[in-house]
Structure 1
Amino acid sequence: MTRPDILCIGSVLWDIIGRSPTAMRLGSDVPGRISRLPGGVAMNIAMTLRRFGLTPALLSAVGRDAEGDELIAACARMGMDTAHLYRSDDLPTDRYMAIEGANGLIAAVADAHSLEAAGDKILRALGDGRLGSDDAPWPGMIALDGNLTEALLSVIAASPLFAAADLRVAPASPGKAERLLPLLSHPRATLYVNLEEAGILCKTRFAGADEAAEGLIARGAPRVLVTDGGRICAEGRQGAGVISDAPPPVLVTRVTGAGDTFMAAHIVAERRGLAREAALAAALRAAADYVSGEIGT
């Protein structure tokens, strides 16, 4: 089997997205389109990595149900390595449901209970020799998402299985941002957060992404990227300061998965050897193309 280019650890599930071109408020009942497609933070990152020609391996929990079989088949068709997925006999395949209108994300519910219940079973391939071991840990990139429990993220932060990895970490949502606190000061971690998530991690409110990046660096983060929708985005590193850039203006047609696309595109840009400024600009361009609908799902 070909060795994967990167490991994507976290949620792999079905996204059920309702989109309407109409602005909505609480109680709105409007015409639109409802789609079901592979999703989850780890999955969204993996899909973008595939578009750029990389081969990601998925480490997650997927049920041994019809929805799980369909999901794995869809992943395999896209060229992803699914050999290391944990298949549960008694846990259903997870799902995410969102409603989006012309005025952005209206509401979303993430049902990642099976991933949380599976715990460290999803990491078995990292310790049994298939992808690594305590003595020879995985040496490459790992994209890690905050759908894992805080207990498991704490284990990962101290585990020798992750000691040699280039960790790229993202919260699943603002509501789960605090789960990343054990990884905030991990010496090999890069955090990808939005402005709200940065504020939650620092227990304050920031006026913009550059201020948030400075705040996270002051809290001990070795490296961070902070997005703020269509406004200024920032990247900060310990000892190297903060840089910022603005995403290109586009007509927004979707928002679910935009942050994951940004993260994956930034990873690809750095793998190609781009400098800080160029890597940030490339990631912003990819995210803008995604939200405008120029990149297909």
Structure 2
Amino acid sequence: MTARVVVVGSLNVDRTFRVDRLPAAGHTIHARSSSTSPGGKGANQAVAAALLGADVALVGAVGRDGGGDDLLASVAAAGVDVTGVVRADAPTGEAVVLVDADAENLIVVNGGANLCLDAAAVTSAVRAARFVVTGFEVPDDAVVAAAARARELGARFVLNPSPMRPLPGGLLGPGVLLVVNEHESAMLAGDTEGCDVLVTLGARGALLHEAASGRTVELVAPRVDAVDTTGCGDAFMGALVAGLAADLDPADAAARAVDAGAYVATRPGAQGSYPTSEELTRWRRGRQ
């Protein structure tokens, strides 16, 4: 597999329920509607980048089931190379997503086949890349293998450690781009080992700090009427790496990513709400 951007990450079937309010412990509530759609942080990020014009490949794992078939078909239809996605003897991963009237969400993930992705599969699949992107919905050895392969290829390693857990050794260092939210940033307590750090701030935008130059750039998000924030962070990641792969300055790539996240918040769902390059450009111009 060769691609300018390689995403090592998860593929899930998202089962979304729209509710008036998120439930408290012990409560049963009624949903206003429900839907099933493709998701998973890895798949979402790969699709977002591909729709924005990047040459993207995805490395991951799905089950030998209908959910896996549907995910591979939908991700491939967006222009992503899925030859690095293996079929595992486990059910395809799934997520239950609750979205309330204020567009806030609550997500529960069953990793399923994603937890079968191993270092050998990553190492054999990633043959060439300029950017290797990964996150924490796959096992540690797959994440570590992605970082090692990036170093071997001279590719830039982009880490989005979400959902946060203790970081394995060998992931951080100069040249690595670490993308975290405020909570994850606080958990790291500034121990970023010379990485460039991009902190996402939700509706407020993002903050980029470049280690070598010492430059810090505040990126303000446009004000929007949010409908659903599911998948906004993944759209941000996809837009970010698509911009970097197109040789944009990191601050410009991050600014475009902030706008992509805002765009997605105005539409329901994850992958189905992601813009093409033309759609995002037109939307950004319309807000100037």
Is the 1:100–1:107 Cα contact (8 Å) retained in structure 2? yes
Is the 2:11–2:62 Cα contact (8 Å) retained in structure 1? yes
1:143 aligns with 2:133: yes
For the aligned residues, what is the CA RMSD? Answer: 2.5
1:106 CA displacement: 4.2
Is the 2:135–2:162 Cα contact (8 Å) retained in structure 1? yes
1:200 aligns with 2:187: yes
* Closer, same or farther: CA 57–152 of 1 in aligned 2, 3 Å: closer
Deviates more, 1:244-253 or 1:100-109: 100-109
- Give the residue type in structure 2 aligned to 1:194: N
- Give the residue type in structure 2 aligned to 1:24: L
Unmatched 5+ stretches in structure 1: 133-137, 203-214
Residue by residue over 1:189-222, the C-alpha shift from the partner in whole angstroms, topping out at 9 and shown as x without a partner, is 21111000111122xxxxxxxxxxxx35xx4142
Q: Which residue of 2 aligns with 1:189?
A: 176
Is the 1:63–1:93 Cα contact (8 Å) retained in structure 2? yes
Relative to the length of structure 1, the TM-score reads 0.81
* Closer, same or farther: CA 116–182 of 1 in aligned 2, 3 Å: farther
Q: Which residue of 1 aligns with 2:229?
A: 255
Is the 2:158–2:177 Cα contact (8 Å) retained in structure 1? yes
Q: What is the rounded CA distance, in whole Å, between the counterparts of 1:238 and 1:278 in structure 2?
A: 17
Residue by residue over 1:255-289, the C-alpha shift from the partner in whole angstroms, topping out at 9 and shown as x without a partner, is 12111111111222223333343222211111100
* Closer, same or farther: CA 232–46 of 1 in aligned 2, 3 Å: closer
1:223 CA displacement: 0.6
Unmatched 5+ stretches in structure 2: 275-288
1:234 CA displacement: 0.3
Residue by residue over 1:141-168, the C-alpha shift from the partner in whole angstroms, topping out at 9 and shown as x without a partner, is 1111112223443454445764512111
SS in 1 for 2:68: helix
How many matched pairs? 268
SS in 2 for 1:82: strand
1:286 aligns with 2:260: yes
Aligned ranges 1:1-297 → 2 under 5 Å: 3-20=2-19, 22-26=20-24, 27=27, 29-88=29-88, 90-126=89-125, 131-132=126-127, 138-158=128-148, 162-173=152-163, 176-179=164-167, 182-185=170-173, 187-202=174-189, 215-216=190-191, 219-241=192-214, 242-293=216-267, 296=273
Q: What is the rounded CA distance, in whole Å, between the counterparts of 2:110 and 2:3 in structure 1?
A: 28
* Closer, same or farther: CA 121–232 of 1 in aligned 2, 3 Å: same
Deviates more, 1:28-37 or 1:50-59: 28-37
Q: Which residue of 2 aligns with 1:211?
A: none
Does 1 or 2 have the higher relative contact order (CA < 8 Å, sep 6+)?
2
Is the 1:225–1:233 Cα contact (8 Å) retained in structure 2? yes
Q: What is the rounded CA distance, in whole Å, between the counterparts of 2:233 and 2:263 in structure 1?
A: 12
Q: What is the rounded CA distance, in whole Å, between the counterparts of 2:167 and 2:96 in structure 1?
A: 21
Relative to the length of structure 2, the TM-score reads 0.83
Q: Which residue of 1 aligns with 2:281?
A: none
Residue by residue over 1:108-138, the C-alpha shift from the partner in whole angstroms, topping out at 9 and shown as x without a partner, is 2111142223322431434xxxx42xxxxx3
Q: Which residue of 2 aligns with 1:206?
A: none
SS in 1 for 2:221: coil
Q: What is the rounded CA distance, in whole Å, between the counterparts of 2:256 and 2:202 in structure 1?
A: 16
* Closer, same or farther: CA 143–106 of 1 in aligned 2, 3 Å: same
Q: What is the rounded CA distance, in whole Å, between the counterparts of 2:130 and 2:67 in structure 1?
A: 31
Runs (4+) off by over 6 Å: none
Q: What is the rounded CA distance, in whole Å, between the counterparts of 1:29 and 1:285 in structure 2?
A: 34
* Closer, same or farther: CA 279–113 of 1 in aligned 2, 3 Å: same
* Closer, same or farther: CA 123–93 of 1 in aligned 2, 3 Å: same
Q: What is the rounded CA distance, in whole Å, between the counterparts of 2:240 and 2:17 in structure 1?
A: 28
